[in-house]
Amino acid sequence: MTLSSVLDRSAIGLSVLCLLHCIAVPVAFVVSFSFPALWMVDERFHQFLVFLVLPTSFLALALGCKKHRTWVVAAWGICGITLLLVAALFGHDWVGESGEKLLTGIGSILVVIGHVLNYRLCRSNACSH
69-115 pLDDT, tens per residue?
A: 888 988 998 999 899 888 888 877 888 878 888 888 898 889 889 88
Predicted pLDDT of residue 33: 56
On whether the CB atoms of residues 59 and 7 are closer than 8 A, the answer is yes
Q: For residue 129, is pLDDT > 50?
A: no
Q: For residue 67, is pLDDT > 70?
A: yes
Residues 88, 59: Cα–Cα separation, whole Å: 20
**Angular region, 38: left φ>0, alpha ψ -120 to 50, beta rest:** beta
Instruction: Please give the model's pTM, rounded to 2 decimal places.
Output: 0.68
Residue 60 pLDDT grade (very low, low, confident, very high; cuts 50, 70, 90): confident
Residues 21, 36: Cα–Cα separation, whole Å: 15
Residue 15 pLDDT grade (very low, low, confident, very high; cuts 50, 70, 90): confident
